[in-house]
Amino acid sequence: MMRARSLLGGVVLGLAASAVACAQILGDFDDNGTTGTGGETSSHTSASSGKATSTAATGSSSAATTGTGGSVASTASSSSSSSSSSGIGCVDPANPCDCDGDGDNANTPECGFDGGDCNDHDPLVNSKQTMWFDVPGSNGWDYDCDGKDEYEYPDTLICKPQGCDTSTQKWSGGSVPDCGQMGPYATCTGNMITCVDGQNLGVRTQGCH
């Protein structure tokens, strides 16, 4: 009987020791495993957070934005200066003072007032223009840059009996049409006794420059 009690006591003590050992193991596992997992998770989160908001990434983005802005600003500045001095858009980019290529330099301070072109972006307008036009242009009717409108046909017929001129063609009716306006054109007709405005040649349009 005493022996049975001793055996039973030993079994109980053994089970108790095993329970303590198991509790110890579980405690260690919980401490190490959970902490380790938490640390790993924490570390991963921190690493992910670093990639998303890192100074390097932000700096890179900032640099890219600044670079793009700088490029646009530089282009705009270059474009602005080129329109007045670099020759871009001109017939001959190497000669911005004759931008329209009409052979007459611009009459501007930048070009040293070296020419008489009052609109260096229109080849029809320059101080050397000799053609006549029946419609206004970029400088109005002043195509030759002399500051005034000149008539192609400025005179009206004056028919005199003495030496009647029957060949010269002029405006009939006593008035000169304005630029772009139409009117009758004629010559005098007559002889040694009479000379009248009577040889109608049709209608013309007044040209100007």
Q: What is the pLDDT of residue 145?
A: 97
Q: What is the pLDDT of residue 18?
A: 56
Question: For residue 53, is pLDDT > 80?
Answer: no
pLDDT in tens, 82-140: 334 557 889 999 999 999 999 999 999 989 888 999 999 999 999 999 999 999 999 99
Percent of the chain, pLDDT > 90? 46
Nearest to 180 by CA among 203, 154, 207: 207
pLDDT in tens, 63-75: 333 333 333 333 3
pLDDT in tens, 176-203: 999 999 999 999 998 778 999 887 889 9
- Its pTM stands at 0.55
